[in-house]
Structure 1
């Protein structure tokens, strides 16, 4: 490890107040003791040894503690090393020394603080990049698993052409979910944007939405996009979107950290519960990121209730 690496590791974002007080006090006491041991301040500038101490404190603890160290240095230097002489010339000379000390310290404190901020910003960028890479790996793994599950249905499809059309639509919904989350860079996605993206391929003039502004937790965004896309596909083939008079109402409300979303079809042909549970049904109901899912098949159309996590 180089000296530069050691300095970087010594710069921390949150230093306890007690530690800051101790380090600031030592930055005043140690130079004072060394100077007293050498010549009791009889030769040269009384503030000479305080410069590196103030610079170090400003770099490791920030400009506020650098200023506190500078003030402590002025008090200690004036008390121990400035000659106690009467008369205006001596007072003026002492004031001039203190003023020059402050002028010399100002850029040192500023540079130390800027160095500290630069190191902390680099740490934060590195942390964000590492977190983003982990999230990207996680989402890539989930996407591959989803694609594998979708592709595994090919052998069961009676019409390959129709299957691949459906597969392409589902992959498009998956891509839209990743786009809404900026491929893992965001921690949530807006509910209005999510619904708009999931239902973009369908007749939007027959879909009515109503609900407050809220954000869906990151882990639930992709499952919800896939579920809404599947509901839209079914409605277009068998439900209310298959006829011009049909409509879909999507309502949601928030309670605490929970969103309750209702998909309700009206004006379409009667629907009945399917005799077998295919991949489409599993994409709606078997999502661990949903708190609860229920489907109701009635003469007026399908109604689906989904409960999931919200982000405040």
Structure 2
């Protein structure tokens, strides 16, 4: 019984095409049920001849198609005309009711047939979308794999070229690794972006989870903005490791963020770091911080306090 119900559901949604024998059996069952209902109604109103067969026509068409529906309608008209549970004669009124029944049945058959065609088209579209989604995922995975290979190749080439310039190499090496980490995070969510907290954890985790605190709700960051944040967080974390909170045994970092409409406000606050005696000329890192969020209508304000660096970032978060 359960299997029969499942088959009917699949046929109803256009997922399964029944055989002609199955459709004929179902239509016959519908006619039997309709005749039984008509027999019961005859005790109340003996002039109900064709109305109970209209639902039978609908279900027979929805399951078996227009041809089965037409056959069901014709058999229903014959049964309504021949079987007279009230004992009345065949007169003009009965013929008129039959004509009306056939007209309504034609409309029902057209509607049910139209529904079947829509269900089949919908199923075909769903199948094609599933195949395209699988192909897209395969393509994205392949592109991500090639990107990782190219990043590794660039990393190796730069290392070979700059092996006699360790300071330059150290700066470039860490930034390439930060970009690779951001790409991995973005790839985990199918190239669409990543959560801000995950991005921070990937960059700050190596310094020890007891050295920092993250305050803010879940916030999904689109891919392009995530890459910019990856570079920003890497730059700030590197500075914290060299000169700021992570360079002191008691140093501590607190990162907080809030959203107001589509604007993100993030605060990077270091405490208990070594005192900052001298601030050098703006280097690549400073230029990076100043320009990283400009594409997102954002800005970064940095203040060097005695207890550590205080950085405030604001930007627009594009919709996903």
TM-score, normalised via structure 1 length: 0.56
Matched, 1:126 2:132: yes
Distance 1:156 1:168, change over 3 A: closer
Asked if structure 2 preserves the Cα contact closer than 8 Å seen for 1:246 and 1:265, the reply is yes
Q: Which residue of 1 aligns with 2:314?
A: 307
Q: Secondary structure at the match of 2:183?
A: helix
Two-structure CA RMSD over aligned residues (Å): 4.9
Q: Following superposition of structure 1 onto structure 2, how do residues 171-182 of structure 1 map, counting pairs within 5 Å?
A: 171-182=176-187
Q: Following superposition of structure 1 onto structure 2, how do residues 283-294 of structure 1 map, counting pairs within 5 Å?
A: 283-287=288-292, 288-290=294-296, 291-294=298-301
Distance 1:237 1:181, change over 3 A: same
Asked if structure 1 preserves the Cα contact closer than 8 Å seen for 2:159 and 2:169, the reply is no
Q: Which residue of 2 aligns with 1:42?
A: none
Matched, 1:231 2:236: yes
Distance 1:86 1:111, change over 3 A: closer
Question: How far apart are the structure 2 equivalents of 1:309 and 1:128?
Answer: 32
Q: Secondary structure at the match of 1:181?
A: helix
Q: Following superposition of structure 1 onto structure 2, how do residues 182-221 of structure 1 map, counting pairs within 5 Å?
A: 182=187, 185-221=190-226
Cα deviation for residue 114 of structure 1 reads: 6.5
Of the candidates 85, 93, 112, which is equivalent to residue 81 of structure 2?
85
Question: How far apart are the structure 1 equivalents of 2:160 and 2:304?
Answer: 27
Q: Which residue of 1 aligns with 2:123?
A: 117
Distance 1:212 1:83, change over 3 A: closer
Asked if structure 1 preserves the Cα contact closer than 8 Å seen for 2:140 and 2:190, the reply is no
Q: Following superposition of structure 1 onto structure 2, how do residues 1-40 of structure 1 map, counting pairs within 5 Å?
A: none
Cα deviation for residue 244 of structure 1 reads: 0.6
Q: Secondary structure at the match of 1:199?
A: helix
Distance 1:286 1:140, change over 3 A: farther
Question: How far apart are the structure 2 equivalents of 1:289 and 1:296?
Answer: 22
Asked if structure 2 preserves the Cα contact closer than 8 Å seen for 1:247 and 1:267, the reply is yes
Asked if structure 1 preserves the Cα contact closer than 8 Å seen for 2:267 and 2:310, the reply is yes
Q: Which residue of 2 aligns with 1:277?
A: 283
TM-score, normalised via structure 2 length: 0.55
Distance 1:140 1:260, change over 3 A: farther
Residues 222-276 of structure 1, C-alpha deviation per residue, up to 9 Å, x if partnerless?
1111211110100110112111111111011111122211111111123354313
Q: Secondary structure at the match of 2:205?
A: coil
Of the candidates 236, 249, 252, which is equivalent to residue 244 of structure 1?
249
List, as ranges, runs of 4+ consecutive aligned residues in structure 1 with deviation greater than 6 Å.
Answer: 109-112, 134-141, 151-158
